[in-house]
């Protein structure tokens, strides 16, 4: 081979080597400057000091050594007194609420910052503990925060803890890893069934005379209607049938009083009372028709004994409730094809409870029991506060219903509110008092308790006791905070 050819091949080979070297230099130089390829630096997980040990442990279980990230991720936590609008990378992870003893008369606490809820479990002379809202149960009393009650508001009345993931590749890298673990279901307005149980309603006697003066039956509900209408379901035990013969001296209701019931958003009427036949069977039967025409469901009474005995089955918002209601020894029950209240028979009660439990339902049992009558004009008489103040063994009988399987037992005959208690695995409210009536001569009979039940996925989260009172004008209103605390403490102090 000639020298010229060898030189030419050498130059060509050298050029190829140089080309390869330049290409490799560019390739590895690009990787070096962009931190990719063999020079790639994996993304780092940074845990902010705002995270607690439990949260860090969970996160470390997700971001293990086997997980390789392209971009850094910074994880932090923040707390708010109002439910925040979540941005990309943010998850509402915990909701914390304060709870007190079931019998506490205090209804809330005041705090300035979210951290105050955890800093001192004794604020404003209120002893409480802080729990996750998903641990809430009816045997502890949920407290409001800064006058906001979580189960009425859902956007405040709690401390909302948010976990935040910041990464340039959140959608591609982080979300698939954390979406399932940090997406948590919480009670909301759409998922919680709210159910207000109220006491005795008897739109009659002096209320008939007052209606003739004011002309508009919604007058009586003017101060309570908006509150009660806010519940998914509102109940009352009405002892007075509608009749053309209603007067200031009988327990019969002017037909216009239907507007009082509609003004409180009534959904369920209990007919276990002993006065629904005061104006005759025809009036009692026509009243049932009137309820049905206004889409008001009936429990504890009916046009016949068979119809009166039918339980009311409630299935709303993923919660099943069987509502049972009976009359016991106060008169007014039906035993045949005439209208009246549902007479209590233990074998029927046991069968209905067993059927309810087989369905997975929560069971509420209302009882029209022997009445307590201990009224002293213009002064307080606490005799009826004690559940055993009336004829018969009220405490023993109501507890027996819990032993037979009821979850909540409510007395709906008392014209004055009575004490309440936790018993076994249930709760008993011995008497709710008068929601609407003309008994304004004695302080006790002007008061009542509203039981505000809140169900979530079939579980009773809470029953809030809300005292009411009416005045000489028969206008029912919520008690003010100070009077309510005094009254609840008075009732709780004489529990069995």
Q: What is the pLDDT of residues 309-332, one digit of tens each?
A: 999 999 999 999 999 999 998 899
Q: Which H/E stretch holds residue 255?
A: none
Q: List Cα–Cα distances, 133 to 45, 130, 366, in angstroms.
A: 29, 9, 29
Q: CA-based angle 354:357:361, to the nearest 5?
A: 135
Task: Give the total residue count for the chain.
Answer: 496
| pLDDT for the residue numbered 329 | 80
User: What Å distances lie between residue 200 and 30, 32, 411, CA to CA?
Assistant: 83, 82, 10
So what's the pLDDT on residue 42? 77
Lowest-pLDDT choice from 19-33, 390-404, 438-452, 461-475: 19-33
**End-to-end C-alpha distance for the chain, whole angstroms:** 119
Q: What is the DSSP letter of 433?
A: B
**DSSP codes, 147-183:** TB-HHHHSSEEEEEEEEEEE-TTIIIIIHHHHHHHH-
For residue 30, name the pLDDT band (cuts at 50, 70, 90).
Answer: very low
pLDDT for res 37: 47
Task: Give the separation between CA 104 and CA 488, rounded to whole angstroms.
Answer: 8
Helices assigned H by DSSP within 230-277: 258-263
Provide the 3-class DSSP secondary structure of residue 289.
helix
Residue 10 has pLDDT above 70, yes or no: no
pLDDT (mean) for 16-34: 49
Which residues neighbour 27 within 8 Å (Cβ) at sequence distance 6 or greater? none
Give the pLDDT of residue 354.
Answer: 98
Q: Which residue has the higher pLDDT, 379 or 103?
A: 103
User: Residue 5 pLDDT more than 70?
Assistant: no
Please give the mean pLDDT across all residues of the chain: 92
pLDDT tops 50 at residue 373: yes
For 222-242, what is the mean pLDDT? Answer: 98
What pLDDT sits at residue 35? 46
* pLDDT value at 213 more than 70: yes
Model pLDDT, residue 79: 97
| Global pTM value | 0.90
- Residue spans per domain, the chain: 45-182, 192-492
Lowest-confidence region among 34-43, 87-96, 338-347: 34-43
Measured CA to CA, the distance from residue 116 to residue 126 in angstroms comes to 13
**What percent of the chain clears pLDDT 70, i.e. is strictly above it?**
90
In this structure, the dihedral spanned by the alpha carbons of residues 308, 310, 314 and 319, taken in order and rounded to 10 degrees, is 140
- The DSSP symbol for 250 reads S
Give CA–CA dist 287/430, Å, rounded.
28
Residue whose C-alpha is closest to residue 457's, from 319, 365, 347: 319
What confidence category does residue 34 fall into, taking pLDDT thresholds of 50, 70 and 90?
very low
- Is the domain 192-492 a CATH 3.90.76.10 member? no
Amino acid 422: pLDDT: 98
pLDDT band, residue 107 (cuts 50/70/90): very high
Any idea which of 18-22, 105-109, 255-259, 455-459 has the lowest mean pLDDT? 18-22
Cβ atoms of 220 and 438 within 8 Å: the answer is: no
Q: What confidence tens digit (pLDDT) does each residue in 264-290 have?
A: 999 999 999 999 999 999 999 999 999
Q: Which residue has the higher pLDDT, 178 or 16?
A: 178
pLDDT band at 60 (very low <50, low <70, confident <90, very high): very high
pLDDT one-digit tens code per residue, 165-202: 999 999 999 999 999 999 999 999 999 999 999 999 99
Percent of the chain's residues with pLDDT above 90: 84
Please tell me whether residue 119 adopts helix, strand or coil conformation. helix
């Amino acid at each position: 081979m000639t020298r010229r050819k060898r030189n030419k091949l050498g130059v060509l080979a050298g050029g190829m080597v140089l080309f390869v070297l330049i290409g490799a230099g560019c390739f590895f130089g690009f990787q070096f400057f962009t931190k990719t390829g063999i020079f790639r630096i994996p993304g780092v997980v940074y845990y902010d000091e705002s995270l607690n040990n439990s949260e860090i442990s969970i996160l470390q279980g997700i971001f293990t050594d086997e997980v390789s990230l392209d971009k850094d991720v910074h994880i932090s936590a923040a707390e708010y007194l109002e439910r925040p609008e979540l941005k990309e990378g943010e998850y509402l992870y915990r909701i914390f609420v304060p709870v007190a003893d079931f019998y506490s008369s205090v209804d809330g606490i005041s705090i300035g910052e979210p951290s105050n809820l955890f800093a001192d479990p004794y604020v404003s002379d209120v002893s409480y503990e802080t729990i996750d809202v998903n641990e809430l149960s009816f045997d502890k009393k949920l407290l409001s925060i800064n006058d906001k009650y979580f189960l009425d508001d859902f956007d405040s009345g709690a401390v909302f803890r948010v976990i935040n993931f910041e990464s340039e590749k959140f959608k591609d890298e982080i979300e698939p890893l954390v979406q399932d673990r940090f997406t948590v279901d919480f009670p909301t307005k759409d998922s919680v069934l709210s159910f207000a149980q109220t006491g005795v309603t008897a739109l009659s006697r002096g209320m008939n005379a007052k209606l003739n003066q004011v002309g508009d039956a919604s007058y009586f509900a003017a101060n309570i209607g908006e509150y009660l209408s806010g519940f998914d379901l509102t109940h009352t035990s009405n002892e007075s049938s509608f009749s053309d013969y209603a007067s200031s001296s009988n327990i019969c209701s002017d037909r216009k009083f239907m507007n009082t019931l509609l003004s409180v958003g009534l959904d369920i009427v209990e007919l276990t009372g002993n006065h629904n036949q005061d104006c005759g069977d025809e009036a009692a039967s026509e009243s049932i028709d009137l309820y049905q025409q206004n889409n008001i469901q009936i429990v504890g009474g009916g046009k016949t004994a068979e119809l009166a005995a039918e339980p009311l089955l409630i299935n709303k918002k993923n919660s099943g409730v069987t509502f049972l209601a009976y009359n016991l020894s106060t008169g007014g029950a039906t035993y045949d094809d005439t209208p009246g209240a549902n007479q209590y028979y233990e074998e029927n009660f046991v069968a209905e409870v067993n059927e309810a439990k087989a369905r997975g339902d929560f069971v509420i049992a209302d009882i029209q029991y022997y009445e307590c009558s201990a009224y002293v004009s213009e002064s307080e008489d606490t005799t009826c506060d004690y559940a055993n103040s009336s004829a018969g063994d009220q405490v023993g009988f109501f507890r027996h219903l819990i032993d037979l399987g009821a979850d909540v037992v409510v007395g709906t005959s008392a014209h004055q509110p009575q004490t309440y208690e936790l018993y076994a695995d249930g709760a008993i409210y011995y008497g709710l008092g008068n929601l609407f009536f003309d008994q304004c001569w004695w302080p006790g009979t002007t008061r009542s308790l509203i039981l505000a039940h809140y169900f979530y996925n079939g579980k009773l989260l809470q029953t809030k006791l809300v005292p009411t009172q009416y005045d000489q004008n028969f206008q029912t209103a919520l008690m003010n905070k100070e009077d309510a605390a005094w009254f609840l403490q008075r009732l709780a102090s004489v529990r069995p």
